[in-house]
Structure 1
Amino acid sequence: MASLMVQEKLETTYLAHTENASGVPHLLREHLYFVGKLARHFSEKACPALNESADWAGRLHDLGKYRDEFQSYLRNQRDSSTETHHAVYGAAAAFQRESNGPAFAIAGHHAGLHDRDALQELLLGSKYQAETRVPPLLTRFERELGKLPERIADPDFIQTSPYSVEFYIRMLFSLLIDADRLDTEAHANGFCRLAPKLDAAGLLQRLMDEKNAKSSEGELNALRHRIFQACLDRANEAPGFFSLTVPTGGGKTLSGMAFALAHAAHHQLRRVIVVIPYLSIIEQNAAQYRRILDPDDEGIVVEHHSAIPVPEDVDESRPLSPFEKHPAEYAVENWDAPVIVTTSVQFIETLFASRTSRCRKLHNIARSVVIFDEVQTLPSHLLNPLLNVFRELRQHYGTSFVFSTATQPAFRRRPLSLTEGFSPDEIKPILDDDVAKAVFRRLNRVAFKPFPRPDETLAWETLAESMAECDQVLCVVNVRRHAFELWEKLRNSVGDKDSVFHLSSAMCAEHRLAILGEDRDPAPGTIRWRLRNRQPCRLVSTQLIEAGVDVDFPAVWRALAPMDSIVQTAGRCNRENLLTDENGNAIPGKVIVFRPETHSLPAGIYKTATGLTATLLDGMDMEKLTTDPALFDRYFDQLYQLVPTDRKIQEEREKLHFRKVAGLARVIEDDTQAAVVPYGKAIDIVRTIRERPVEPGKPRISRDDLRALQRYMVNLHTRDHQRLLSLKAIRPLLPNLDIPVLEEGWYHDHLGVLIDQRPTEDFLL
């Protein structure tokens, strides 16, 4: 026994990870200390009440690596097995001290958050014998890192609600994951990653300079300046919930950002997060923000919309090198930039995920300003959980929210639908009601054709012929198959095929932006260039053009859809109020709502909302759609009574069933997987990554690689992904990195990803 004690004293070099590329091993005591310190640093900025639990979660997370079995494994003296699993022991140490938050966070720091019953089985069951194995590990731990307290304090505010407990665990988990991955990455690279901090006052000045450079002449520009100034005037109010109700074309993009930056400057908030609908073209707003706020590409504005698939560990098996098994795990996006532009899918699933790669960025939402652009597109089946989490973020984590749209939804509390809705005084309008109504009346620039009768339908061929007679015209349809069919018929109906364009989610972000053209200086031949130079331009698009895409057509067709979608499409018509007759008098643009002969609709709320819209619009004065903002209050109030607003997510949150919640809280029902497509620079980026030399102990892919690649990604439905796999049209980016890359020949210059359906003209010589 004495000789064993001597050996124990001599062998004090416990490892967290193997040697990096420079031959330096990662000492366990240093890893635990710095992960705890970094997690505490993050909590200090996010919510100081979490400081103690974050620090000890970081120090204890790899307690199990003090086991001789794990050290032998790292030294390549034994194989991986249950005996080399490690996360359970630190979790057990926290659990024994009645510290449930750290126990959940530590136990899941590789495999993801467990459901409560599964965690109890893990900690109290016979598989790991944690109760008897933890004390000798703590002896080694305390010898290197000091005494562990008898109890690790949870924040007092979690006593107020079971949902506060659940969200606290998520926030603590995020702090731990980010700290652990960053410290591991620093070991591999030999340096710590530094992120730029938000200089809200400086960025606001850049935005002001941009605004002042724009013309203030004319009624439209005068109204935009008035809205912008109103946003600045209200920015000093206490953090909370704000609504910005402005008609399309009123300058919401810049005005909302002005409020956010001024609000952040006044209250020392950390970042601005702009959330755009998953059906929107995110790249336009991101490009505009980058041009104004980040002209030197310093990483001030980060665009994030494509999720990299990072496999989770089913158990706790780990490779000798952390970068051998899941190399992308350490490079996933963590939103450590001053301005983040992301999608509803990314933001919402971050709030309810159980996986490490998705949860990692959650703590960076705390003490931020979150702008929901086109907030009416929030998924109704998640509304009650979402509103509850928004309230948690506001009350305990210092986050402000701006709900921005032309069609403000009714998020009022309702006992039979929105039980988590807002009280009448909980949301503060940035524009007073009388100002908002006046703005809507004065910004109306379109005239609607009468709503079609129930039996009045339109064939695609007839529609294509009508569009061919217009030099500039937009048609928005509900599904990609309709966009393909109408695009092909329109190409056959005009002599100038270059004037016909297609936009859909089958195209990557960079491709869509190349088709649209830059907002300020569009390239010749693009949609925006043709529109501004009065050249023929006929565009067929799915719904993604509705939210925030700055185009201006004199005539717009819209397949019957939800009421807010119709209004958003109308916002692409006569946007700048430049239409005149032959005498130079201003005239409105023309908006036509039609029933397609084949009226396929996406299932769920989209179909329900379209039916409700048809009922409400039948016999109604169509002009109210663009002049009466209160109409949408009534519309959404009725809609939320017809569709589910929870799906038992709140019930599972109370039970601390994190994995069940993650399965229920999906924004899109169908699973999708992001694939890199062979468009533009993506071909060279992929080649560079694949040809990069392998360096032991160092990852072959970085966060910069992932940020560059996401603009060349398309989200494929599971069935399409499987079909492409069977056709050998997809292969992994790297042998041990399952990021799918589409082979050349499967991506169309006009239509994006094509599998079975190809245009007839492709087969003509």
Structure 2
Amino acid sequence: MKLLAHISDDKTRTQTIEEHLISTAALAGNFAAAFGAQAEAAYTALLHDIGKYSAGFQQRLQGGPPVDHSTAGAKAAIQDGNIPAALAIAGHHSGIPDLGNPHDTADESTLVGRSKRRIEDCSQWKQEISPAKAALPPWLLRQPDNLTMAFFTRMLYSSLVDADFIDTETFMDGKAAPRGMGEPLSALLEKVRAQAKRYLDSPAASPVAQERNKVLRACMEQGTHAPQGLYTLTVPTGGGKTFASLAFALEHAVAQKPQMERIIYVIPYTSIIDQTAQTFADLLGEDNVLAHFSGVDYKLTEKDDLTPAQYRKLLSSENWDAPIVVTTAVQFFESLYANRSSRCRKLHNIANSVILFDEAQTFPTDYLKPCVSAIAQLVQHYHTTAVLCTATQPALTPLLQELAPGLTAKELSPDPAHLYEVLRRVTRQDLGTLSAEALCAQLSSAEQVLCVVNRRKTAQDLFAQLPAEGSYCLTTFLCAADRRRQLDEIRQRLKAGLPCRVVSTSLIEAGVDVDFPLAYRETAGLDSLLQTAGRCNREGRRDPKKSIVASFQLEGLAPLPMLSQNVNAMNATERAYDLLDTPDAIHSYFESFYRTRATLDKQNILDAFQHGIKGCQFPFAQVAGKFHLIDNHTYTIYLPIEEGADLCASLRGGHISRAQLRRLGIYSVECYEKQFRSLDAAGALERSPDFPDDSAILADPDLYSRKTGLSMEIEEGRAIIL
């Protein structure tokens, strides 16, 4: 009798284990073919559910107690000497476990521990399937170091779990889900070429536009013949690198044999992802662009209310099965060091892709080595091309030499030094130390001005001293809905020539397309100063000598400790170079900055895989718990404003859906524990055990302004506890 893997919810259909294993193996093999592991993935998939041949699992299908059905396949792979397959199989539901060490006992969750457990007889699998022992890919055998092996194991795991999910979903639904979306990359390339022709043929192109066109031509030409590898695109802010990088990616992907499968655009902050995704969608079509972040529309809509297009995007977000993917650096890198199926499922679709890293200088310094190592692994072994795009290119050559000897980055821009010279659109001034009153007097006297500071509280205090008309305060103390509204108003006022004075934190420095005639920047690193400068005279329509970017230090306010090394590196660069906005000066700044860092791998992620943690080898689960690009734990405060008022009412009633909770995220503010506790002690928060962890509803509406955001000017009181 054929034993079963699944029974449909209506009890009318069954899927045998043999059917499930064979179908999953075919899918997994196809997924892993891009990195030469088709046979290995098929072998892994054929073994992953052999534990379902036990009597205990067959009883489970009839309502019996849960049973461990993954250890059996892992033990079979261990007997074949295939540790990557064993790790993938053991974790296909619970996450890749740590390998452990030979002394682990059967009650431990490591692979070694689980291999010592007694399991129920499931030997009937040998009568139905015969997995052929699979050799590891030749490239892996040539470089069998632990770090490369760990990365391969995670990619193998991704191929398995995505295949398992899809085959199970297809059976349970009775039909294949509408996975996959969009047009072929060749069709998208034609759209980009048409837009490029409009730029290149424009007879009235400004001097800035002419330089952008030179960059665009170079990127498109190199895209057609450049080999797969690692590239940099170093272009001053406002130099058109977003479109030029997309043009390179599509030309390059289509020119490769075989053709590459997708473009992945990685941006540093969630605050600009919807802007970037919409820019691509306007050019390429909504159905061709998958934006993967919590606030996107297909995640904010109830499943029953999704349009067919939204449903396809929801499915594609699970495994990045889309031609153009726009995501964040946090999502991208944390997935590459994760161990759970929900985070790792998409990883195999990174292979055979072009990855564009926007604002590469924002790679988190505490995790710079693991991030660079991951990029190197993808480029060297997974048929991936990576492009580091920025106006302030970080000095990564020493890291590449250490982590991936022989891998070098080639510059796509035809002549960065010349480009910086001809696109110099501002004049820098150092104002030294200013009082808040003196600074505000200067800001108030300007019709249109941007001032970027290091603290949210500083931005609020300065804003309070500016004229009411046309003044804005942009910080993450504003909810996303209010930030978007303010940015729309700011762009409209700038375009109309109306008064527009903006005090902002650094959130405006990366990817926010605004153009001011005058800018101020509180003391920080050179990369921050140049990013602010990129928001001044962006289009080059004003006299550079009159387009001032002024740096200053606020009286009585020391630089943030977390910025001290940036400031020291900036001072060292300033002593060595007359002009700071040159590639050489920027390179020197980053070299100096990285030298002063105690570590570029704060959690010892790479060492954990190379040498283990306290005797535990290949510590996948432990590393996943350590690798978090945003270290500071934050608390969420939901705001009962606009649609958020009804959503907060649903939250209080305990019947809020996941989609509603994501929508409520647009009306929320993140704060640190000390701030959260202060608000709580003042009676400003409404809390309940039914609310999501570390969250509350703002109970005092006077503490949130639609102009300045959440206020920390609070008095002690009593909280509302439900």
The TM-score range, normalised by the shorter chain, is 0.7 to 0.9
Code of the residue aligned with 1:106 in structure 2: it is I
Q: What are the equivalent positions in structure 2 for 1:504-543 lying under 5 Å apart?
A: 504-517=475-488, 526-543=489-506
Q: Which amino acid aligns with 1:36?
A: A
Task: Note the 1:15-26 alignment, pairs <5 A.
Answer: 15-16=5-6, 19-20=8-9, 24=13
Matched residue pairs, number?
A: 677
**3-state SS, counterpart of residue 527 of structure 1:** helix
Give the direction of change, closer, same or farther, for the CA distance of 1:20–1:508 in structure 2 (3 Å limit).
farther
2:402 partner SS: coil
Q: Residues 476 and 558 of structure 1 are in contact (CA less than 8 Å); yes or no, is this contact kept in structure 2?
A: yes
Counterpart pick for 1:117 among 100, 121, 140: 100
Residue in 1 that maps onto 2:571: 614
Secondary structure, aligned partner of 1:474: strand
Indicate yes or no: 2:324 matched with 1:353. Answer: no
Q: Distance in 2 between matches of 1:206 and 1:478?
A: 41
Q: Distance in 1 between matches of 2:369 and 2:153?
A: 20
Q: Which runs of 5+ in 2 are unaligned?
A: 297-313, 613-617, 716-722
Matches within 5 A, 1:169-208: 169-190=153-174, 191-196=176-181, 199-208=184-193
Residue 137 of structure 1 aligns to a residue whose secondary structure is: coil
Once the two structures are superposed, the pairs formed by residues 449-598 of structure 1 within 5 Å of their partners are 449-450=429-430, 452=432, 457-490=433-466, 494-496=467-469, 499-517=470-488, 526-579=489-542, 587-598=545-556
220 and 561 in structure 1: CA distance in 2 versus 1, 3 angstrom threshold = same
What is the RMSD of the two structures over their aligned residues, measured on CA atoms?
3.8
Mark the CA change 1:575 to 1:719 in structure 2 (over 3 Å): closer, same or farther.
same
Partner residue, 2:375 = 390
1:252 partner letter: K
Q: Map 1:48-87 to 2 at 5 A.
A: 49-78=36-65, 80=66, 84-87=67-70
Q: Which residue of 2 aligns with 1:625?
A: 580
State yes or no: 1:219 paired with 2:207. Answer: yes
Which of 222, 226, 229 matches 1:234?
Answer: 222
Q: Give the whole-Å Cα distance in 1 for the aligned partners of 2:592 and 2:115.
A: 55
Q: Distance in 2 between matches of 1:342 and 1:253?
A: 14
Structure 1 equivalent of residue 293 of structure 2: 304
Query: In the alignment, what sits opposite 1:311?
Result: none
* Distance in 1 (alpha carbons) for counterparts of 2:326 and 2:638: 20
In the TM superposition, what is the alpha-carbon distance from 1:487 to its structure 2 partner?
2.5
Residue of 32, 52, 57 corresponding to 1:43: 32
- Is this contact kept in 2: 1:104–1:169, CA < 8 A? yes
Question: After alignment, is 52-61 or 536-545 more displaced?
Answer: 52-61
Q: Secondary structure of 1:419's match?
A: helix
Counterparts of 1:558 and 1:657, CA distance in 2: 43
Task: Measure the CA separation in 2 of the matches of 1:218 and 1:409.
Answer: 29
Residue 263 of structure 1 pairs with residue 249 of structure 2: no
SS in 2 for 1:133: coil
How far apart are the structure 1 equivalents of 2:431 and 2:28?
57
Residue number in structure 1 paired with 2:301: none
Does structure 2 conserve the Cα–Cα contact (< 8 Å) formed by 1:531 and 1:553? yes
Instruction: Report the equivalent of 1:649.
Output: 605
SS at match of 1:336: coil
Residue 156 (str. 1) matches residue 143 (str. 2): no
One-letter code aligned to 1:87: S
Does 1:342 find its partner at 2:327? yes
Is the Cα contact below 8 Å between 1:280 and 1:544 reproduced in 2? yes
CA drift at 1:207: 2.3
Q: 1:147 aligns with which of 117, 130, 135?
A: 130
2:637–2:698 Cα contact (<8 Å) kept: no
DSSP-derived class of the 1:353 partner: coil
Distance in 2 between the 1:74 and 1:724 partners? Answer: 50
Which residue of structure 2 lines up, in the alignment, with residue 446 of structure 1? 426
In 2, distance between residues paired with 1:26 and 1:680?
48
The range that moved more, 356-365 or 60-69, is 60-69
Structure 2 distance, partners of 1:89, 1:678, is 51
Letter in 2 for 1:487: F
Q: What is the distance in 2 between the residues matched to 1:632 and 1:756?
A: 37
Residues 1:713 and 1:110: Cα distance change in structure 2 (over 3 Å) = farther
Distance 2:80 2:106 in 1: 13
1:709 offset after TM fit, Å? 7.5
Report the Cα offset of residue 548 of structure 1.
1.8
Partner of 2:307: none
Partner of 1:659: 621
1:642 shift after superposition: 1.0
Q: CA shift at 1:510, angstroms?
A: 4.6
1:430 paired with 2:412, answer: yes
CA shift, 1:342, in A, is 1.6
CA distance 1:96–1:54, change in 2 (3 Å): same
Report what 1:133 is aligned to: 119
* Contact 2:51/2:69 (8 A) holds in 1: yes
The DSSP-based 3-state class of the residue aligned with 2:596 is: coil
- Most deviating of 184-193 and 481-490: 184-193
Native 8 Å contact 1:283 1:509 kept in 2:
no
Report the alpha carbon displacement of residue 188 of structure 1 after superposing the two structures with TM. Answer: 4.7
| Residues 1:444 and 1:166: Cα distance change in structure 2 (over 3 Å) | same
Q: Distance in 1 between matches of 2:378 and 2:291?
A: 22
Change (3 A) 1:339 1:744: farther
**Structure 1: gaps spanning 5 or more residues:** 1-8, 308-328, 518-525, 581-585, 695-699, 760-765
Question: Where does 1:21-32 land on structure 2 (aligned, <5 Å)?
Answer: 24=13, 27-32=16-21
Maintained 8 Å contact 2:436/2:462: yes
Identity of aligned residues (%): 32
| DSSP 3-state at the match of 2:122 | helix
Q: Deviations over 1:286-318 (max 9, x none)?
A: 221111112xx22533243679xxxxxxxxxxx
Q: TM-score by structure 2 length?
A: 0.83
Q: Is the 8 Å Cα contact of residues 293 and 301 (structure 1) preserved in structure 2?
A: no
Task: Give, in whole Å, the separation in 1 of the partners of 2:680 and 2:12.
Answer: 39
Distance (Å, rounded) in 1 between the aligned partners of 2:348 and 2:102: 23
Question: Distance between the aligned counterparts of 1:94 and 1:304, measured in 2?
Answer: 36
Counterpart for residue 322 of structure 1: none
Q: How much does 1:35 deviate?
A: 2.6
Give, in whole Å, the separation in 2 of the partners of 1:612 and 1:59.
Answer: 55
Give the secondary structure class of the aligned counterpart of 2:37. helix
Letter of the 2:553 partner, please give it: R
Deviation at 1:56, TM superposition (A): 2.7
By how many angstroms is 1:438 displaced?
1.7
Residue matched to 2:194 = 209
What's the CA shift string for 1:321-347, capped at 9, x where partnerless? xxxxxxxx9996432221111222111
Q: Structure 1 residues 673, 69: closer, same or farther in 2, change over 3 A?
A: farther
Q: Deviations over 1:357-398 (max 9, x none)?
A: 222222121111111111111122323333222222112100
Give the letter for the 1:86 counterpart: H
Higher RCO (C-alpha 8 Å, min separation 6): 1
Deviation for aligned residue 1:512: 2.7
Q: Distance in 2 between matches of 1:722 and 1:72?
A: 50
CA distance in 1, matches of 2:215, 2:283: 19
Partner SS for 1:402: strand
Report the CA distance shift for 1:591/1:183 in structure 2 as closer, same or farther (over 3 A): same
- The alignment status of 1:248 with 2:203, answered yes or no, reads no
1:30-81 residue CA offsets vs partner (Å, 9 max, x unmatched): 433333222222112x32x211221232232233333323333342244x4x
Name the SS for the 1:413 alignment partner: helix
